[in-house]
Amino acid sequence: MDDTIFDHSLTCRASLRGLRSHTPTLQRRSLTDVWREYLRLLDSVHPTVLAGQISVTRARQERFRRLASFCGESISALEAQRLSVRYRALYRAQRRAVPGARGLLERLHNRAVIAIVTNSQSDEQEEKLAFLGFRDLVDHLVVSEDVGVSKPDPRIFQIALDRAGTTAEEAVMLGNSWETDILGARSAGVRAVWFNRFHEPNPEPGVVAEIDTLEDPARVERALAASPTHPSP
CATH (domain of 216) = 3.40.50.1000
Co-location of 39 and 107 in the same domain: no
Q: How confident is the model at residue 43 (pLDDT cuts 50, 70, 90)?
A: confident
Which domain range does residue 217 map to?
Answer: 101-225
Overall number of domains in the chain:
2
Q: Is the pLDDT of residue 228 over 70?
A: no
pLDDT of residue 227: 57
Cα(132)–Cα(175) distance, integer angstroms? 18
Co-location of 138 and 208 in the same domain: yes
Co-location of 151 and 58 in the same domain: no
Establish if 231 belongs to a structural domain. Answer: no
Co-location of 218 and 107 in the same domain: yes
For residue 19, the domain's CATH number is 1.10.150.240
Co-location of 111 and 213 in the same domain: yes
Establish if 3 belongs to a structural domain. Answer: no
Query: Which residue stretches of the chain are H helix?
Result: 8-20, 31-50, 56-70, 77-93, 101-108, 122-132, 144-147, 154-164, 183-187, 217-225
Co-location of 134 and 75 in the same domain: no
Determine how many CB atoms are found less than 10 A away from the CB of residue 40: 14
Please give the average per-residue pLDDT across 80-85, as a whole number. 97
Establish if 142 belongs to a structural domain. Answer: yes
The answer to pTM > 0.85 is yes
Please give the average per-residue pLDDT across 49-62, as a whole number. 85
User: What percentage of the chain exceeds 90 in pLDDT?
Assistant: 85
Cα(220)–Cα(214) distance, integer angstroms? 7
Please give the average per-residue pLDDT across 140-161, as a whole number. 95
pLDDT of residue 121: 85
pLDDT of residue 56: 85
Co-location of 134 and 65 in the same domain: no
Please give the average per-residue pLDDT across 68-82, as a whole number. 97
Respond yes or no on whether the N-terminal peptide bond of residue 152 is cis (omega within 30° of 0).
yes
In this structure, are residues 220 and 207 in contact, taking their beta carbons and an 8 Å threshold?
no
Cα–Cα–Cα angle for 97, 62, 144, nearest 5°?
Answer: 50
